[in-house]
Chain A
């Protein structure tokens, strides 16, 4: 299953709904292009919804880290929403669980961004 990304806006936060596999190749490219596009439109509050992401490999993890740092370098915030157990375990093993702000409720996540 290839990766798909769509975006929506709620209260000034851009929610990127991702589904499929974030892996070396197409999946990583879709994520990179989507983040570049969103940041290019001046968005500073980004919530990546990973609820339908079935699989992430090391390249996908690298892409998440890259998205996080590039948004932060632009003065923005990127948070993660709805991790599956697989993705949660992976972020824990790689210690990135301590780096990302991770939420499991969309409304709470939206309210957590700086006003």
Chain B
């Protein structure tokens, strides 16, 4: 597969969340993931976009969300960046802890981590960038397809 990199700039709206999810679905299919993996990638991107629009940019019409999709033989890499106040991903309570199980919110980052192979957070000036990586099964570290 040829490596590609596509960047989208979205408004801080719920429509953008749906758009990011749809795009993730399309890129997941193009990258050759199976239906279940595509759904999981799309959901992780949706959750990252919700965080960017709602928690990062707080629906501020002046702030944008940038979503970048990069495909290669090894992986699908998606970064979602907001222009908000920044986020401490380590500071988020474990939603599986008994005392948090019945809380209404706080599961987004947990689901992103559950559905992707690698997740990285980076504080930017301004905002937060989260990078989501899903490895292509069967591709070795050099990016060549493993022989069957």
B129 at the A/B interface (Cβ < 8 Å)? no
B101 at the interface (CB under 8 A from A): yes
Q: Are B47 and A58 in contact (CB under 8 A)?
A: yes
Q: Quick check: is A24 within 8 A (CB to CB) of the other chain?
A: yes
Encoded as 1 (CB less than 8 Å from any A CB) or 0, chain B from 65 to 107 comes to 0000000000000000000000000000001100001111101
Tell whether A108 is near chain B: CB-to-CB under 8 Å.
Answer: no
Q: Is the CB of A57 within 8 A of B105?
A: no
Contact across chains for A62 and B96 when beta carbons are under 8 A apart: no
Contact A65 B103 (CB under 8 A): yes
Shortest A91–chain B CB gap in Å is 11
Main secondary structure of the interface of A (DSSP, over half): helix
Contact yes or no, B39 A65, CB < 8 A? no
How long is the Cα–Cα vector from A103 to B61 in the complex, in angstroms?
44
Task: For residue B80, give the distance in angstroms from its CB to the closest CB of chain A.
Answer: 15
Q: Which residues of A contact B54 (CB under 8 A)?
A: 24
How far apart are the CA atoms of A96 and B110 in the complex, in Å?
Answer: 14
Check: A77 CB closer than 8 A to any chain B CB. Answer: no
CB distance from B109 to the nearest CB of A (A): 9
Q: In the bound complex, do residue B101 and residue A95 qualify as a contact, i.e. CB atoms below 8 Å apart?
A: yes
Asked if A7 lies at the interface with its beta carbon under 8 angstroms from chain B, I say: no
Which residue of A24, A94, A95 is within 8 Å of B50 (Cβ)?
A24
The answer for the CA separation of A66 and B110 in the assembled complex, in Å, is 19
Assess whether A57 is in contact with B102, with CB atoms less than 8 Å apart: no
A21 closest partner in B (C-beta): B18
Q: Is A9 an interface residue (CB 8 A)?
A: no
Known: A58-B47, A58-B50, A59-B50. A24 touches B14 (CB 8 A): yes
Residue of B nearest to A63 (CB): B104
**Bound Cα distance A86, B14 (Å):** 22
CB of B9, distance to nearest CB on chain A (Å): 21
A-side residues, CB < 8 A to B, are 23-25, 57-59, 61-63, 65-66, 68-69, 86, 90, 93-96, 99
A and B contact pairs by CB, cutoff 8 A, 29 listed: A23-B46, A24-B14, A24-B50, A24-B54, A25-B14, A57-B43, A57-B46, A57-B47, A58-B47, A58-B50, A58-B105, A58-B107, A58-B108, A59-B105, A61-B107, A62-B104, A62-B105, A63-B104, A65-B103, A65-B104, A66-B104, A68-B102, A86-B39, A93-B111, A93-B114, A94-B95, A95-B101, A96-B101, A99-B101
